[in-house]
């Protein structure tokens, strides 16, 4: 799924028609002549350039004793593969002079069907996690719990185009190359996710020679991070090694006020503090068999620990609002986890331009044991014990295994104006999870609590096949696709020998119509049908007793929700600016939503249910534009109306409301090579079936300075949520039962300093030892000081 382009060709002597070995092949931005990357031709004259982004480029080929040769070409999201043909160099008596140039990637790139955020250019997420990186991405909203939404809907999140058992807080931001946003994917992509796909692409260098980076950082509240990246590339092999460690606390304060309609009241204060260390290592090897065949093998291993202490203070009031009693519940918890991953990828490029076959296989495993205790003291209004202290101990654990196989084939037709895509995919998930809760008895012994304990396993199988056909008729283009997915889920409560299953085959069509206008303008109308399937926590029947007055439980009978998504978009690239406007409509049936019911005078149970339907009407505007030659702003606004119908849950239950979300990224290149970035966002009140999520916003800042002549050393100062305003506030009500206001505030204001040092250079001499007379003449376009940013 990564937006990675590939061009290739052959270099020949114009007079002899023989291959020219080790000629310098450079790819240059057509706009400003800055270098993107470079390779050397092989002994047979073949060359291959990978990892290119969409854009207009110039290919420059030169070799000592020959005239340089140029060829312009362009890559688009629809055409990322080009065979540039043969290049016949003419002999020359002029020697080429050395040129040292650099390239600079844009922070945010927009196309009509995809947006790409270059994480490496973002300052606020340095030393953080994927959660921090996503908070900086225009169009994306991340709440304090790390829940990601896109246009007020839930997207599917992939890592390198595959499902991952890791949470976003377990993926280092410094390991991310870019984040791709696809709001309305075609049939080629998984149908999961009501509002599209977010794909996190990890770094993978392919620069000739030995290159790398060392990183280290420290932040307030005892936050630390460090890591190293190493890349060794000598065709036909490319070796990468990455390691990253991150230690950050988890701090949260909360407050809840509830009014029960039996004239009783509850007031709660909570505090949590957790610490932990996370480490991850990755290794990869690419074998370039020849210009048309590449085999890649990669693997990862990691893990960490998380210790947490929490206290909940609860005060209970009678009808006269006089304190009736209180309780203090203390939690002690220790968790460990580890994971491994493995990937094997094969790519074959046929002789026919743009015809390609890819085969991919991957494995992910996650394991996480833990243990802890709950201690609850019940007190009267004078803070004297009402009853014996309630003590519980628990141990938990689980494993999650994900197997994925995928193959895709692309065949260009009608001289490249049309294209036929097809592919198959299989994903199998096996999971086992348990929690044993023991109640302490008066004699000091412990007895298993059967209500709070669980032993749960599930097996999930998803088989898919798709076909896409696209065609270009002048300035008009169209694409039609159909995806079939067979989804099967089996869950088992092992202790009670109770199983449940749902088997959901589905067809998911997609249609895209596009019309190019004058200049760099384009209109697009598209439709796709999507599905959002319940995740493990939404269907797990376990009851979370961490807060006895606010229990949480999954619903094994939860059904998938289905969404019909329509978009009408206008994209205009004018000068260095890019404007994208989209009007969209989403109709969702069987909407998965949270639902709260009272189960006693002072206890609520929160679970998940299927509401009848939800309709969302919205408009999203995104503009990236340079204010001056040193200041660029990316602004995004999403305005939407939501109508929820949930009378199937409770008669008359429905809710409607207008909301909006806005985010602004500002990047200023200041004197003395300083770069200043500001990111601000705000989400207004948003309706849910039983109330609303209240508005919240934040402001992040980052300042970067490069040092040394080669700019190899970079120092970044950053501050997240500098005004400490990011929080979660929710109002919930159930007519005739209760109203509740809740407030939660996680640690969000953090100031950090991060240092990174790049070493090595693009050393083409690794491909061939130079003759002595050439030792002083480096090939053109060598990039000193490590990889460009």
Averaged pLDDT, 773-777: 35
| Structural domains of the chain ordered from first start | 5-97 (2.60.40.10), 209-760 (2.40.170.20)
Q: What is the DSSP track for 630-678?
A: TEEEEEEEEEEEEEEE-TTTSTT-EEEEEEEEEEEEEEEEEGGGEEEEE
pLDDT for res 538: 86
Averaged pLDDT, 659-677: 92
Identify the burial level of 779 via C-beta atoms within 10 angstroms of its C-beta, where 0-12 means exposed, 13-18 middle and 19 or more buried. buried
In what helix (H) or strand (E) does residue 133 lie, and over which residues does it extend? helix 130-135
pLDDT tens track for 369-407: 999 999 999 999 989 998 889 999 999 998 999 999 999
Chain-centroid distance, C-alpha 277: 21
Tokens 């007379």 sit on residue:
773
Helix (H, G, I), strand (E, B) or coil at 97: coil
pLDDT for res 599: 83
pLDDT tens track for 513-549: 999 898 788 999 999 999 988 877 788 777 887 788 8
Averaged pLDDT, 705-729: 91
Q: Which of 64-68, 250-254, 448-452, 500-504 has the lowest mean pLDDT?
A: 64-68
The secondary structure of 298-366, three-state, reads: EEEEEEEEEEEEEEEEEEEECCCCCEEEEEEEEEEEEEEEEEEEEEEEEEEECCCCCCEEEEEEEEEEE
Query: Shortest CA distance to 27 belongs to which of 9, 2, 13?
Result: 9
Helix H segments across 351-507? none
Could you give the CA distance from residue 789 to residue 769 in angstroms, rounded to a whole number?
28
Structure tokens at 771: 């003759």
Query: Shortest CA distance to 622 belongs to which of 144, 150, 131?
Result: 150
Helix then strand then coil, % of the chain, to nearest 5: 5, 65, 30
Whether the per-residue pLDDT at 94 is higher than 50: the answer is no
Q: CB neighbours of 688 closer than 8 A, spacing ≥ 6? A: 593, 594, 644, 655, 730, 732
Averaged pLDDT, 456-484: 93
DSSP-assigned letter for residue 130: H
Q: Dihedrals φ, ψ of 133, to 5°?
A: -65, -45
pLDDT tens track for 542-592: 788 778 888 888 888 888 999 999 999 998 988 878 899 999 999 999 999
pLDDT for res 481: 95
pLDDT tens track for 182-221: 888 889 989 988 888 899 888 776 667 788 889 999 999 9
Structure tokens at 557: 């009978």
The secondary structure of 434-501, three-state, reads: EEEEEEECCCCCEEECCCCCEEEEEEEEEEEEEEEEEEEECCEEEEEEEEEEEEEEEEEECCCCEEEE
Cβ proximity of 462 and 427 under 8 Å: yes
Q: Where are the beta strands (DSSP E) in 95-222?
A: 108-110, 115-117, 140-142, 148-150, 156-159, 176-182, 197-202, 209-219
pLDDT for res 112: 60
Could you give the CA distance from residue 182 to residue 2 in angstroms, rounded to a whole number?
11
639: which strand partners? 619, 660
Could you give the CA distance from residue 693 to residue 711 in angstroms, rounded to a whole number?
45
Provide the pLDDT confidence category of residue 782 given band limits of 50, 70 and 90. Answer: very low
CB neighbourhood size of 78 (10 A): 14
Could you give the CA distance from residue 491 to residue 501 in angstroms, rounded to a whole number?
6
Identify the burial level of 262 via C-beta atoms within 10 angstroms of its C-beta, where 0-12 means exposed, 13-18 middle and 19 or more buried. exposed
Cβ proximity of 363 and 406 under 8 Å: no
Could you give the CA distance from residue 738 to residue 598 in angstroms, rounded to a whole number?
8
Could you give the CA distance from residue 488 to residue 494 in angstroms, rounded to a whole number?
19
Q: Which of 51-65, 306-320, 627-641 has the lowest mean pLDDT?
A: 51-65
pLDDT for res 769: 37
Cβ proximity of 405 and 346 under 8 Å: no
Whether the per-residue pLDDT at 751 is higher than 90: the answer is yes
DSSP-assigned letter for residue 388: P
pLDDT for res 56: 86
Structure tokens at 347: 């790519």
Q: CB neighbours of 390 closer than 8 A, spacing ≥ 6? A: 374, 375, 376, 377, 378, 439, 440
Provide the pLDDT confidence category of residue 3 given band limits of 50, 70 and 90. Answer: low
According to DSSP, the β-strands at 390-413 and 370-379 are antiparallel
Whether the per-residue pLDDT at 469 is higher than 90: the answer is yes
**At CA 687, angle to CA 681 and CA 693, rounded to 5?**
55
Q: How many residues does the chain have?
A: 789
Cβ proximity of 615 and 646 under 8 Å: no
pLDDT tens track for 164-174: 767 787 788 88
Whether the per-residue pLDDT at 2 is higher than 60: the answer is no
pLDDT tens track for 252-265: 999 999 998 878 89
């Amino acid at each position: 799924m990564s937006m990675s382009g590939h061009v290739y060709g052959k270099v020949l002597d114009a007079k002899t028609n023989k291959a020219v070995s080790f000629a310098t092949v450079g790819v240059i931005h057509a706009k400003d002549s800055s270098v993107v990357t470079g390779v050397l031709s092989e002994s047979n004259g073949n060359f291959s350039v990978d990892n290119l982004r969409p854009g207009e480029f110039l290919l420059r080929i030169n070799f000592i004793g020959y005239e340089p040769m140029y060829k312009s070409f362009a890559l688009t999201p629809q055409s990322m593969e080009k065979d540039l043909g043969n290049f016949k160099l003419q002999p020359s008596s002029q020697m080429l002079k050395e040129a040292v140039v650099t390239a600079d990637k844009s922070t945010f790139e927009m196309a009509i069907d995809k947006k790409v955020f270059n994480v490496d250019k973002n300052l606020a997420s340095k030393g953080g996690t994927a959660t921090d990186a996503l908070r900086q991405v225009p169009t994306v909203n991340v709440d304090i719990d790390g829940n990601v939404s896109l246009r007020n809907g839930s997207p599917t999140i992939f890592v390198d185009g595959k499902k991952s058992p890791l949470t976003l807080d377990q993926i280092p931001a410094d390991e991310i190359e870019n984040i791709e946003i696809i709001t309305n994917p075609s049939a080629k992509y998984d149908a999961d996710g009501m509002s599209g796909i977010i794909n996190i692409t990890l770094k993978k260098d392919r620069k000739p020679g030995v290159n790398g980076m060392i990183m280290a950082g420290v932040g307030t509240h005892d936050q630390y991070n460090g890591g190293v990246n190493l890349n060794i590339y000598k065709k036909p092999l490319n070796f990468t090694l990455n390691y990253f460690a991150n230690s950050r606390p988890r701090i949260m304060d909360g407050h809840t006020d509830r009014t029960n309609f039996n004239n009783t009241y509850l007031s709660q204060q909570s505090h949590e503090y957790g610490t932990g260390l996370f480490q991850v290592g990755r290794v990869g090897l690419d074998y370039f068999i020849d210009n048309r065949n590449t085999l890649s093998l990669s693997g990862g291993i990691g893990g960490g620990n998380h210790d947490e202490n929490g206290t909940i203070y609860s005060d209970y009031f009678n009808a006269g609002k006089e304190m009736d009693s209180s309780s203090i519940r203390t939690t002690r918890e220790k968790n460990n986890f580890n994971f491994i991953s493995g990937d094997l990828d094969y790519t074959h490029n046929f002789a026919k331009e743009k015809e390609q076959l890819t085969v991919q296989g991957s494995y992910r495993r996650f394991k996480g044991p833990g243990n802890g205790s709950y201690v609850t003291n019940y007190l009267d209004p004078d803070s004297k014990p009402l009853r014996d202290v309630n003590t519980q101990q628990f141990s938990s654990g689980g494993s999650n295994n994900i197997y994925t196989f995928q193959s895709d084939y692309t065949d260009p037709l009608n001289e490249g104006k049309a294209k036929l895509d097809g592919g198959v995919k299989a994903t199998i998930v096996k999971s086992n999870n348990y929690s044993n809760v023991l109640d302490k008895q008066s004699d000091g012994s412990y007895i298993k609590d059967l209500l709070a304990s669980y032993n749960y396993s599930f097996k999930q199988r998803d088989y898919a096949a798709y076909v896409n056909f696209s065609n270009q008729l002048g300035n008009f283009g169209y694409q039609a696709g159909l995806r079939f997915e067979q989804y099967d889920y089996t869950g088992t409560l092992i202790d009670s020998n109770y199983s449940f299953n749902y088997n959901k085959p589905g067809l998911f069509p997609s249609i895209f119509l596009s019309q190019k206008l004058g200049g760099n303008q384009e209109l697009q109308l598209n439709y796709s049908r999507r599905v959002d399937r319940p995740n493990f926590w939404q269907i797990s029947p376990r009851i979370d007793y961490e807060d006895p007055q606010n229990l949480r439980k999954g619903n094994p009978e939860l059904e998938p929700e289905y969404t019909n998504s329509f978009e009408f978009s206008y994209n205009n690239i004018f000068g260095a600016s890019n404007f994208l406007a989209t009007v969209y409509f989403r109709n969702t049936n069987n909407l998965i939503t949270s639902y709260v019911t009272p189960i006693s005078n002072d206890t609520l149970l929160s679970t998940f249910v299927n509401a009848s339907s939800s309709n969302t009407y919205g408009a999203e505007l995104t503009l990236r534009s340079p204010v001056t030659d040193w200041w660029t702003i990316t602004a995004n606004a999403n305005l939407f109306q939501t109508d929820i119908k949930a009378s199937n849950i409770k008669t008359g239950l429905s809710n409607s409301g207008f909301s909006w979300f806005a985010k602004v990224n500002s990047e200023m290149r200041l004197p003395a090579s300083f770069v200043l970035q500001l990111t601000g966002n705000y989400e207004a009140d948003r309706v849910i079936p039983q109330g609303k999520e209240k508005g919240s916003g934040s402001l992040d800042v980052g300042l970067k300075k490069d040092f040394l002549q080669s700019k190899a050393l970079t120092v970044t100062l950053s501050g997240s949520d500098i005004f400490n305003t990011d929080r979660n506030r929710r109002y919930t009500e159930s007519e005739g039962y209760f109203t509740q206001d809740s407030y939660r505030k996680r640690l969000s204001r953090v100031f950090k300093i991060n240092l990174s040092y790049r070493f090595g250079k693009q050393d083409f001499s690794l491909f061939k030892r130079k003759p002595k007379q050439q030792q002083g003449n480096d090939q053109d376009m060598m990039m000193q000081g490590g990889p460009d940013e």
